[in-house]
């Protein structure tokens, strides 16, 4: 099923919520995967493809901004450079909007 343009899937919303909770501190992909797993109490980390596709979509929608880390910093620490993400104003507003929306009850719940 094709999703509505501009709509967020649960993973994207979870990413935005975690990003909003960091109050503008940048984070990288693996850090986010670990935080998502910790929040869920899951041992398995989000798959690479799923995670980076979601991050890419959020960045394309202007809800996250990204920048590559200074290569000298990475070199100094002897690791590959990180792509750092940060929530934008639009992203923070979107989280608030999503929380304001009433959850639509499922037909099963309505019958219960």
- Sites of contact with another protein (CB under 8 A): 28-31, 33-34, 44-53, 56, 68, 79-83
53 vs 93, beta carbon nearer another protein: 53
Hey, CA dihedral for 71, 77, 79, 82, is it positive or negative?
negative
Give min distance, CB of 92 to another protein, in A.
24
User: How many CA atoms, within 13 angstroms, populate the side-chain half-sphere of residue 48?
Assistant: 0
* First-last CA distance in the chain: 27
42 vs 93, beta carbon nearer another protein: 42
3 vs 101, beta carbon nearer another protein: 3
Give min distance, CB of 79 to another protein, in A.
6
Give min distance, CB of 55 to another protein, in A.
9
C-beta separation of 91 from 8 below 8 A? no
Give min distance, CB of 17 to another protein, in A.
20
Residue 64 DSSP SS3: strand
48 vs 93, beta carbon nearer another protein: 48
∠ Cα 112 2 13 (to 5°) = 65
């Amino acid at each position: 099923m094709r999703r509505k343009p501009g709509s967020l899937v649960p993973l994207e919303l979870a990413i935005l919520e975690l990003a909003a909770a960091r109050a503008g501190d940048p984070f990288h992909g693996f850090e986010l995967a670990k935080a998502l797993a910790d929040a869920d109490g899951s041992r398995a980390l989000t798959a690479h493809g799923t995670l980076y596709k979601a991050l890419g979509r959020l960045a394309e929608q202007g809800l996250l901004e990204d920048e590559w880390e200074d290569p000298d910093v990475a070199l100094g620490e002897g690791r590959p450079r990180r792509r750092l993400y940060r929530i934008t104003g639009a992203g923070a507003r979107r989280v608030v909007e999503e929380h304001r929306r009433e959850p639509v009850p499922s037909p099963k719940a309505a019958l219960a």
